[in-house]
Amino acid sequence: MLSVITTVAIIAVLIKETVGFFTMADHPEISVWSFFTGTEWSPLLGAKPLFGVLPLVCGTLLVTVIAGLFAMPVGLLTAIYLSEYASQRVRTNLKSVLEILAGVPTVVYGFFALTFITPFVLQPLWSGFGTYNAMAAGIAVGIMILPIVCSLSEDALRAVPQSLRDGAYALGSTKFDVTIKVVVPAGLSGVVAAFLLALTRAIGETMIVALAAGGLAQLTVDPSAQVQTMTAYMVQIFLGDAPAGGVEYRSSYAVAFTLFLITFVMTWTGAIILKRYREEYD
Amino acid sequence: MLGKPISQSKKMRLNRMLMIGCLAATTIAVLVLSALLVSIAIEGTSSLSWSFLTSFASRKPSQAGILAPLMGSVWVCTICAVVAIPVGISTAIYLEEFARRSRVKRLIQLNISNLSGVPSIVYGILALVAFVRFFGIRPSDEPWTFGNSQSIWYLQIPFGPSVIAGGLTLALVVLPIMIISSQEALRAVPPSLRQAALALGSTQWQVVWRVTLPAALPTMMTGAILSMSRAIGEAAPLLVIGGFLLVFQTPANLMSDFTVLPLQIFNWSGRPQADFHKIAAAAILVQLVVLLAFNSIAIIIRQKLQRPLQS
Amino acid sequence: MNDHSLPGTTMDQPTTTPHSPHSPHHGASASAGGASGAASAANISTPATIAIEMRNFSAWYSKNQVLHAIDLDIAAKQVCALIGPSGCGKSTLLRWLNRMNDTIAGARATGGLSLHGAALLDASLDVVDLRRRVGMVFQKPNPFPKSIFDNVAFGPRLHRVYSRTDLEELVEQSLRASALWDEVKDRLTSSALGLSGGQQQRLCIARAIAVGPELLLMDEPCSALDPRSTASIEELIRELRATYTIVIVTHNMQQASRVSDATAFFYEGKLIETGPTDVLFTAPKERRTEDYVTGRFG
């Protein structure tokens, strides 16, 4: 019951503030349409602040995509290793480590991005990386979600019954055949659900991007550039001194609402997929 | 025979490639995570000292300490635990043991799992309006007050950016996870136990209180500890509700300003001077030690107290 | 798979060896390539080609010895039933015939074991190819969560590259041979998990024969099925005998007598007696055999 109240409350508050944002009388140029499709975002600068949300969404997407490109392959392959190749001892040890890692505060990854990834990994590779760049944040977010991807995928793969593997071996499969052609397809729903969950966490991640990605909202796909994500923007507003009823303040509510929508849809999709995967073995 | 044969060497090649790929990925994962730990350890260990733990933040990195955020974390997390654990467990009990299978229940269930995916910063925003501002029913410069400001239990409504608001915010973040893990703990209790109790003539409430709950308790405690360890590390929602980045005293009562360890780390990490990075690393080490302690307790509980429920 | 950890008690040695005492085949080396011309060994039936030869074959799971010095010949293109009480090692024996025990840590074997002349315990044996030549059907039907077509086509696709039409032909042939074609020909792309238990088992048989094996191993294939499906599978086995050598493990003695040409009775890891099925069931030589087939124990 409480949860329903909470959901309703979240939605109510966000709607109230967002509506308030869009109906500010003294900024008639702001409309829902221009919010969702406008490509410039500079609410705090200039005489005519602009409120197109796309640069923020783009920043979030850029960081998330980098994170996903790192975490999904590495996570899945590690999960395959743990489930199909590793001995029992290695598996339990590594799983405990993964469990602990899943609890590391995200500021730690942000710190790592700022003080290690950028100066020692990225900048030696190419001098075009500034102190704040999307790549470092993306990699750090990827490292953050790696334990989730790995742990949940491994659960999904282990849930595939041994009888299927036996059947495949009896037909003359190599381990490659069994793993790639039988086990992974059989566990696919669980793996996809794991990916979705991890990406949802990545999208909602705040501290890493606030520390390492920068504060300049721009519409770009250049990983060496600064970007600002939706979450980082909200941090910026709340850290600052914007007045409680002001435009900038309400804009962060609108951003929060957008963020909430995106993650809600993703979680919903993940739950549906997961339900389907649970039914397959009954 | 129809078709062209696939050579044995090709099969062996694919086989080997897969194994190498998996090993490479695992190695990368382990290496990256080790790099994380090692780099932080290198930066931070030099600054760790007793005075670090017991002094307050200051403008000079060499004199700064984490007493305020440490205590803030303790206060906030205690409040969070006190609220979230009972509410979470009772909601789980209600959902698992008493609620009928209906569309409403499924809706609630779906709700809870959706909520667990919401970014924590959004909870911060909700908490800002609900707890800190109390939906605007009372302006914050003329609060209703309860008790006197000398005691711990001093309360003001609206809460303002205080410890209690922080604790409640974290409770919101942690609640869905608590509920889900408690539900799974309850589900793991074999139905034969419940049926045996019912057959002896217990009411449903007695079954829950005397049989199911004790059986599920170790798993629930593990879940609670893991939820709390997540709570200790949360920074974003607390930032939103006004956990200040620079606080010079430990909380004195429920209305005090506060900061928590992750926020302090955030603050110091964001400074350009390298010295601040050093103490940020040291603070991270403290945070990690706390995290490890929590996890170890959870693992120990899981191993020792979890007697098998079926022989 | 079944864990055949037998207690260490030894029974008194069987007083008759399973085949004529003049057999010279007691080579103990692991790579004893049995000559297929062992016509002098008393075969289980009229002298046909021998498909499987076992000489002094023993098997262990870690420290437990599960099979003791088995000497057995199995003739080609016949059905041989392995019977015996639970835990006597018959499933283990079956799994050694296609080296499935390789997937179990701690499983090892010594002695002579050969299939049409190829030594199965040889370290250099291509196990993948062996498993192509030997098909296996399991106790509980285990179709892959794929379409019916993809299930049957899975095996062939592992070993050869086919054109689409060739593959469709192969799938149809296999489904016809396992008496499933008429029931599924209109829904080849639907999921195999939607079939009934008996149909799934026939699908597994089709899947196994699609790779064109010489030998079919069946581990209690009907024990999870209802009587009607059991009957249809038994009929299928009788038909398949014309093309394949079949070794079937079964708990059900009536099934063994219905379906098989020859039977081997195992007890606590030892081969007690073998012979043509009708002889074994009506006039067994061994006391223990007689006790088992008449239901005095088991």
Quote the percentage of chain A above a pLDDT of 90: 19
Residue C137 lies in a domain: yes
Q: A186 and C145: CB-CB below 8 Å?
A: yes
Q: What is the pLDDT of residue A282?
A: 39
Nearest CA in chain C to B5: C160
Query: For the domain that residue A101 is a member of, what is the CATH number?
Result: 1.10.3720.10
What SS3 class is residue C128? helix
For chain B, helix, strand, coil in percent to 5 are 70, 5, 25
Contacts of C182 (CB under 8 A, 6+ apart): none
Query: For the domain that residue C228 is a member of, what is the CATH number?
Result: 3.40.50.300
Residue B295 has its nearest CB partner, among A84, A103, A112, at A103
- Number of Cβ pairs < 8 A linking chain A and chain C: 64
- Is the minimum CB–CB distance between B233 and chain A shorter than 8 Å? yes
Q: What is the pLDDT of residue A141?
A: 92
CA A86 to chain centre: 29
Beta bridge partners of B181: none
Q: What is the pLDDT of residue A44?
A: 46
pLDDT at B102 over 90: no
Q: What is the pLDDT of residue C199?
A: 92
Task: Give A64's pLDDT tier (boundaries 50, 70, 90).
Answer: very high
- Is the minimum CB–CB distance between A62 and chain B shorter than 8 Å? no
Task: Give B159's pLDDT tier (boundaries 50, 70, 90).
Answer: low
Quote the percentage of chain B above a pLDDT of 70: 78
Stretch 71-90 of chain B: residues touching chain A, C-beta under 8 Å: 87
Residue B3 has its nearest CB partner, among C126, C129, C166, at C166
pLDDT at A14 over 60: no
pLDDT at C18 over 70: no
Task: Decide if A164 contacts A111 (C-beta within 8 A).
Answer: no
Residue C154 has its nearest CB partner, among A165, A171, A280, at A171
Choose from A89, A163, A171, A184 for mutation: most chain C CBs within 10 A.
A171
Task: Report pLDDT digits (tens) over C245-288.
Answer: 999 999 888 899 899 999 999 988 889 999 999 888 888 888 88
pLDDT at C7 over 60: no
Residue A179 has its nearest CB partner, among B18, B242, B266, at B18
Q: A164 and C207: CB-CB below 8 Å?
A: no
Decide which of A75 and A10 is more confident.
A75
Q: A177 and C158: CB-CB below 8 Å?
A: yes
Q: What is the pLDDT of residue B239?
A: 83
Number of domains in chain C: 1
Number of domains in chain A: 1
Task: Please give the average per-residue pLDDT across B100-121, as a whole number.
Answer: 76
Decide which of B18 and B64 is more confident.
B18
Among B293, B5, B202, A80, CA closest to C211 = B5
Task: Find which of A32-36, B159-163, B175-179, C163-167 is predicted with most confidence, using mean pLDDT.
Answer: C163-167
Among B258, B274, B288, B271, CA closest to B67 = B258
| pTM of the shown model | 0.80
Stretch 150-179 of chain C: residues touching chain B, C-beta under 8 Å: 156, 158-163, 166-167, 169-170
Task: Please give the average per-residue pLDDT across B196-203, as a whole number.
Answer: 82
Across all residues in chain B, what is the average pLDDT?
77
Residue B5 has its nearest CB partner, among C126, C159, C212, at C159
Q: How far apart are CA A141 and CA C45, in angstroms?
A: 70
The runs of H, that is alpha helices, within A127-214 are 134-158, 162-170, 175-176, 184-186, 188-204, 207-212
Task: Please give the average per-residue pLDDT across C208-216, as a whole number.
Answer: 92
Q: What is the pLDDT of residue A16?
A: 57
Task: Give B307's pLDDT tier (boundaries 50, 70, 90).
Answer: low
Nearest chain B CA: its distance from C46 CA (Å): 31
Q: How far apart are CA C7 and CA B253, in angstroms?
A: 70
Q: B229 and A103: CB-CB below 8 Å?
A: yes
- Is the minimum CB–CB distance between C128 and chain B shorter than 8 Å? yes
Burial (CB count <10 Å: 0-12, 13-18, 19+), residue B308: exposed
Task: Please give the average per-residue pLDDT across B227-243, as a whole number.
Answer: 81
Which residue in this structure is represented by tokens 């849930």?
Answer: A159
Domain residues for the domain of A93 are 2-279
Regarding the domain with residue range B46-305, which homologous superfamily does it belong to in the CATH classification? MetI-like (1.10.3720.10)
Task: Please give the average per-residue pLDDT across C76-91, as a whole number.
Answer: 89
Q: Which amino acid is at C116?
A: H
Could you tell me the residue ranges of all domains in chain B? 46-305
pLDDT at A69 over 90: yes
Range of lowest pLDDT (A100-114, A242-256, C163-177, C279-293): A242-256
pLDDT at C41 over 50: no
Residue C18 lies in a domain: no
Among C65, C68, C51, C130, CA closest to C98 = C130
